[in-house]
Amino acid sequence: MSYFCAMNRLPHALIDWFGKRGWALHPHQQAMLDRAGDPATLLVAPTGGGKTLAGFLPTLAALTAAPRPGLHTLYVSPLKALAADIRRNLSTPIAEAGLPIRVEDRTGDTSYTTKQRQRADPPHILLTTPESLALLLSYPDAPRTFAGLERVVVDEIHALAESKRGDQLMLGLARLQSLCPGLRRVGLSATVEDPPALARFLARHPDRCAILTADPGPEPDIAMLDVPDRPPWAGGGGRHAIPAVLDAVRAHRTTLIFHNTRAQAEIFFHHLWLANEDSLPIGIHHGSLAREQRLKVEAAMAAGQLRAIVATGSLDLGIDWGDVDLVIQVGAPKNVKRLVQRIGRANHRDNAPSKARLVPANRFEVVECVAALAAVRDHDLDGEPRGPGPRDVLCQQILIAACAGPFDADALFAEVTSAGPYAALSRQAFDACLDFCATGGYALKAYDRWQRLMQRPDGLWQLRDPRAARQIRMNVGTIQDTDTLKVRMRGRGGTPLGEIEEGFAATLTPGDTFLIGGEIVRYEALRELTVEVTRSHSDRPRIAAFMGTKFATSTQLSARILDMLSHDDWPDLPGHTRRWLHLQREMSRLPRADRLLIESFPHEGREHTCVYGFAGRNAMQTLGLLVTGRMEAMGLHPMGFVASDYAVLIWGLDRLRDPAPLFQSDNLRDGFETWLKGNAVMKRTFKAVAHVAGLLDRRSAGARKSGRQATFSSDILYDTLVRYDPDHLLLQITREEALKGLVDFGRIEEMIARTRGRVDHVIADHITPLAAPLLLEPSKVPVFGAAQERLLADAAARLIAEAGLPD
Amino acid sequence: MNDFAFDFHGIRLHARASGALWWPARALLCVSDLHLGKSGRIARRSGAMLPPYECHDTLARLEAELDATGARSMICLGDSFDDTEAAEGLAPDHTAWLRRLIAERDWFWVEGNHDPSPLALPGTHHARVTLGALDFCHIATEASGEISGHYHPKARIALGGGATTRPCFLIDADRIVLPAFGTYTGGLATTDPVLSELMGRDALAVLTGRSAYAVPMPRRQRQSA
């Protein structure tokens, strides 16, 4: 009892320290102190609401009232940088108020000796990431390291819950809870659409979890940026808005300019800099830049030296950079929740409203931005419900458990199902994962002698070869790195600039120029997996291809857009966009939520068909692949297609007369099953699943091989499994992942359910207003199959002829 | 065009889309780098348990090639087994399958770096096999008229925006390098300096897959001054 009293009262030294700064506790911070003894608490608060401090207050109170050695509180955040930032922020009050508390961080950047020492002599508060926690739990001395642990604080839990990192973390917490049964959990989240779901994710199943909601502050000041020039018909760069953006930067202290992709951020930054006649200090920040470059920008930002930063999702989270007073979002936000979180990056110090301006990058995005503004005003956040915990992460957890020591399968099953995401896991599914880890889980039993895990006579499972633990530890984690190459300035100790994808690097020849970190560089040579470049003065650089996520417009936002299109008129829209929609209605029809609009028209000697599915980019891309597959079977000779968030446009030799059979759900689903097996998306997904589940090593103990004939592509393994073991666990997982991710078939099904075969087929004499921008979209997809062989034959003949060789 | 026919030291040969080399005048088929038993060896050495179906797949494709050509002689150009233990540890049904294929023709095992010692299987074992003007060995030397394997060459060809990478034969006036035939085999890019130095200026790469396509061998990009 006395213990909890201590936990909900702040130490006097800290109260004094607060007092000197004129700070008082926010109600949600006091509420966290009051609930210090609860098994689980979720705090939902806007950025900068002092939520991180709220998470730590009970710890500071308890450790001051009853000082003791050993680990007391574990803090987990999605970013290494955030852990370091929190260490600095916590250290100040602790030092100045003279509290007897030691705080340290532990991430991939922490030195080996520090890590060793931390395992034997942990600090009171340890700040870390899900991956570093998983590693700590894989050591046999984990019970000693975590002895006495009382609290765990999960920061930015909404972001972690969006990926497998969150599933891994919850399995880690389940393990911690077994080691420290009294462990209490706190989750800190930005505004989300479904807090109870996040609370179930966090809490030990079936513990209850209170949800505290901080005062969201005043309503944001959010509108379209006033741009005199019209946005272009297609594209995503937002270049037309550069003068207006520069004016806005001049009128504010610090502006964050968000883009949806790294490539767009690079192009925009380049042109912004060309137009920046007053030489305003402006930086760029995204995930493909070298760490040194990013740190430099972050330091300049923290010191208030920058007037603007062009950024991507890498700045969505965390690091507290006080003085931002304007957020500009270039391009449609795609997702209302992320927009709200980005808006929150502005003005969060005082109680002023956050100010944000949207810049639609093309004509259709004007409609989407207006719909998103309305959604923000209505507090209508979007989000897909989280599926059950993925089984590849569970496989990795089983291997991690085996690294820590022999385990009992029943006990591990009980532990795993206490994690929210795995609460509904069946014993059968668990056993299949255990069998995969032990024997490979193949229909053909080939590895009796070489099992990875074996069962001892006493029934416990252990690694057959204890040396395997090292390799398993090296591959802990669920983050997928794409194959990238580092880019450096040529010469001794050349500055690292960032990374480009291997695929893009392969298309470069010496002399080619491209943009990275806002600089134009010239490709010189590839030396030991590093791309060497020099500065260039070219004014037509190519754009480096970055993997980055391509967000699809959310279901909820798409529904709002369809609703808008059903209005008679659009007084909220700028004149150009309003006239465009009226013209579409005169020439064809406007898409409706309950009907599927399909237009067919000739254009430049080809027959075109445009399908307005409004299912988001990934699903529309899948629909394009499926429909062209069927059209090829029908002899319509499709030649290619291009997909956007709202439509797919297909071109080919023959006109589509009756689209209805193409879109019957049975037809689509049958075609889908066959198509899916051979799809490149499946192979890419399989590779990721195989890495997480531990079939393939992402990193091996030796250095990266230079001669690569010894390694072979995971595509071969995928093809082999599909042919000989189609029901294998990893293929089941791959299919589940692909369905919700890049393939997104679920949204095609949603589209079919919403339109129920009600197809409006408009045959027009020429291209329609709404279809026109699609022709300008990049990333057109050629239809392959027999076509790739024909292309290869043509290419071979051409190369032979060019070389002057006899055929 | 399911294979690519060419003359080498006065002899008509076919680079087949499967990756096998066919000498019609002698009814001789040649494949390289089967790497049978690879998944077992990986499990033994690293603990990784890859899908254990590659042996079946390689033998099935090999049998299909023997049937399609009606080969009366067969040369396996080395690295037929991933190592000696793999050769001895082949599953009984795979051993029986292989013995049946061997029994129907003259069978030459050329030794490779992975399988240097004689095998318990029937067929004759050689460091190299010379037939008329042609010399069959595992790793290419300076000599002319050699047919070898070892490097698992693969070539990458740009196709309007995208690219495709395929295992390939490398052919010049002096030598032929075969692609790896085994299912679990990767490749060494033709742009690798080792292959660029090995092969003459006029070398062709014959891409394998559904059909065979000959192109000038893609080479290492020359660095600008």
Residue where the block lists tokens 């010049």: B172
ipTM above 0.90, yes or no: yes
Would you state the structure tokens that stand for residue B161, as one six-digit string? 């925006």
- Asked whether residue A663 falls in the same domain as residue A537, the answer is no
Q: How many CB atoms lie within 10 A of CB B211?
A: 16
A453, A474, A495 - which closes a domain: A474
Whether the pTM exceeds 0.80: the reply is yes
In this structure, are A170 and A319 located in the same domain? no
Between chains, do A791 and B160 touch, taking CB under 8 Å as contact?
Answer: yes
Q: By the CB < 8 Å criterion, does B202 face chain A?
A: yes
More confident residue, B32 or A740: B32
A786 touches chain B (CB under 8 A): no
Q: A-B interface: how many C-beta pairs under 8 angstroms?
A: 126
The total of other beta-carbon atoms located within 10 Å of residue A331's CB is: 24
Q: How far apart are CA A585 and CA B77, in angstroms?
A: 69
Taking CA–CA distances from B4, the nearest residue in chain A reads: A807
- Token pair 């949603």 in the structure block, residue: A750
Q: Which long-range contacts (CB under 8 A, 24 or more apart) does A3-8 make?
A: A3/A62, A3/A66, A4/A36, A4/A37, A6/A61, A6/A62, A6/A65, A6/A66, A7/A33, A7/A36, A7/A37, A7/A58, A7/A61, A7/A62, A7/A65, A8/A33, A8/A34, A8/A36, A8/A58, A8/A61
Q: From B48, which residue of chain A is nearest by alpha-carbon distance?
A: A695
> Going residue by residue through chain B (225 aa), what tens digit of pLDDT does each one get?
479 999 999 999 999 999 999 999 999 999 999 999 999 999 988 888 999 999 999 999 999 999 999 999 999 999 999 998 888 888 999 999 999 999 999 999 999 999 888 778 999 999 999 999 999 999 999 899 999 999 999 998 876 545 678 999 999 999 999 999 999 998 999 988 999 999 999 999 999 998 899 999 998 765 433
Task: Provide the pLDDT for residue A703.
Answer: 41
Provide the pLDDT confidence category of residue A12 given band limits of 50, 70 and 90.
Answer: confident
DSSP 8-state class, residue A185: E
* Same domain as A488, residue A350: no
Q: How far away is chain B from the Cα of A742, in angstroms, using its nearest Cα?
A: 19
| Preferred mutation among A450, A695, A713, A807 to probe B, highest tally of B CBs within 10 A | A450
Q: What is the mean pLDDT of residues A600-628?
A: 89
Cβ–Cβ < 8 Å for A60, A361: no
Task: In whole angstroms, give the CA distance from residue B185 to residue B112.
Answer: 15
Average of pLDDT values for A12-25? 85
- R_g of chain A, CA atoms, integer Å: 28
Q: How far apart are CA A246 and CA A244, in angstroms?
A: 5
Pick among 3.60.21, 1.10.3470, 3.40.50, 1.10.150: CATH of B3-216: 3.60.21
Do residues A415 and A318 both lie within one domain? no
User: What distance in Å separates residue B151's CA from the closest CA in chain A?
Assistant: 7
Instruction: Answer yes or no: are the C-beta atoms of A549 and A355 closer than 8 Å.
Output: no
Query: Would the pLDDT of A807 be above 80?
Result: no
Rounded to a whole number, what is the distance in angstroms from the first to the last CA of chain A? Answer: 91
Average pLDDT over residues A554-563: 94
Residues of B in contact with A728 (CB under 8 A): 51
User: CB of B52 within 8 Å of any CB in chain A?
Assistant: yes
pLDDT of A709 higher than 60:
no
- Indicate the burial class of A366 (C-beta count within 10 angstroms; 0-12, 13-18, 19 or more): buried
- The 10s digit of each residue's pLDDT in A74-96 is 999 988 777 878 888 888 889 99
Q: Before A281, cis peptide (omega within 30)? A: no
> Which are the contacts of A351, defined by CB distance < 8 A and separation ≥ 6?
A217, A218
The CA distance from A15 to A23, in Å, is 9
Quote the pLDDT of residue A629: 79
Does the CB of A444 have a partner CB in chain B at under 8 Å? yes
Residue for token digits 């050509």?
B69
Q: Are residues A470 and A495 both part of a single domain?
A: no
In this structure, are strands A638-643 and A759-763 parallel, antiparallel, or unpaired? Answer: unpaired
Higher model confidence: residue A586 or residue A798?
A586
Q: B180 Cβ partners below 8 Å, 6+ apart?
A: A709, B19, B32, B33, B35, B79, B149, B152, B167, B187
Q: Which of A:670-709 have CB within 8 Å of B?
A: 695-697, 707-709
β B129-131/B134-136 pair status:
antiparallel
Distance CA B13, CA B171 (A): 11
The pLDDT, as a whole number, for residue A528 is 65
Cα A518 to Cα A541: distance, rounded to the nearest angstrom: 11
Q: Which residue of A has its CA nearest to B210?
A: A789
- On average, the pLDDT of chain A sits at 86
Quick check: is A479 in a domain?
A: no
User: Would you say residue A482 has pLDDT above 70?
Assistant: no
d(CA A741, CA B92): 43
Domain match, A445 and A488 both: no
Q: A177 and A28, same structural domain? A: yes
Above 70 in pLDDT, residue A5?
no
Cβ–Cβ below 8 Å for B49 and A695: yes
Q: Do A529 and A590 sit in the same domain of this protein?
A: no
Residues A492-544: pLDDT tens digits? Answer: 778 888 877 776 776 677 777 888 877 788 888 777 668 888 888 776 676 66
Q: How many residues does chain B have?
A: 225
Looking at residue A782, its pLDDT comes to 62
State the pLDDT at residue A677: 67
Residue A2 has pLDDT above 60, yes or no: no
In angstroms, the CA A616 to CA A243 distance is: 31
Q: Are residues A748 and A627 in the same domain?
A: yes
pLDDT band at A547, cuts 50/70/90? very low
Comparing C-alpha atoms, which of A208, A145, A171, A152 is closest to residue A414? A171
- Cβ of B152 within 8 Å of Cβ of A709? The answer is yes
User: Among residues of chain A, what percentage have pLDDT more than 70?
Assistant: 89
Q: Considering only CB atoms, which chain B residues are within 8 Å of A511?
A: 224
Q: Tell whether A352 is covered by a domain.
A: yes
Single residue among A422, A448, A474 that ends a domain in this structure: A474
Interface test with A, best of B3, B50, B156, B201 (most A CBs within 10 A): B50
Instruction: Flag the least confident range among A254-263, A497-506, A671-680.
Output: A671-680
Mean pLDDT of A51-55: 88
Amino acid at B220: R
Token pair belonging to A197: 């779901």
Is A529 an interface residue toward B (CB < 8 Å)?
no
The pLDDT tens digits of the residues spanning A764-783 come to 999 999 998 888 776 666 66
Percentage of residues in chain A with pLDDT exceeding 90? 48
- A645 and A692 belong to one structural domain: yes
My answer on whether A68 and A198 are in the same domain is yes
pLDDT of residue A705: 40
Write down which residue in A162, A186, A213 finishes a domain.
Answer: A213
Query: Residue A128 maps to which CATH number?
Result: 3.40.50.300
Is the residue at A797 inside a domain? no
Q: Residue A138: count other Cβ atoms within 10 Å of its Cβ.
A: 21
Structure tokens at A676: 């899916």
| pLDDT of amino acid A764 | 93
* Interface contact B56-A524, CB threshold 8 A: no
Two structure tokens written together for A392: 């590849």
Residue A550 forms part of a structural domain = no
Whether A722 and chain B come into contact, CB under 8 Å, resolves to: no
Tens of pLDDT, residue by residue over B142-162, are: 899 999 999 999 998 876 545
* Closest-CA residue to A297 (of A312, A287, A318, A282): A282
**Contacts with B40 from chain A: Cβ below 8 Å:** 446, 450
Q: Which ranges constitute the DSSP H helices of A634-728?
A: 665-677, 680-693, 714-724
Q: Report CA Rg, chain B.
A: 17
Nearest alpha carbon to residue A138 among A404, A336, A468: A404
Tens of pLDDT, residues A183-192:
999 999 988 8
| Record: contact B224-A789, CB cut-off 8 A | no
Pair A500, A286: CB distance under 8 Å? no
* Residues in CB range of B12: below 8 A, 6 or more apart: B5, B6, B23, B24, B25
Residues A35 and A166 in one domain: yes
- Has residue A386 been placed in a domain? no
Phi/psi class of residue A490: alpha, beta or left (left: φ > 0; alpha: ψ in -120 to 50)?
Answer: beta
* Contact list, A471 vs chain B (CB under 8 Å): 46-47
Cβ neighbours of residue A372 closer than 8 Å, sequence gap 6 or more:
A332, A333, A336, A339, A358, A557, A560
Residue span of the structural domain in which A507 resides: 484-543
Contact of B53 with chain A, judged by CB distance below 8 Å, is answered with yes
pLDDT for A706: 37
Q: Which residues of A touch B51 (CB under 8 A)?
A: 440, 442, 717, 720-721, 724-725, 728
**Phi then psi for A201, rounded to 5 degrees?**
-65, -40
Indicate the number of domains in chain A.
5
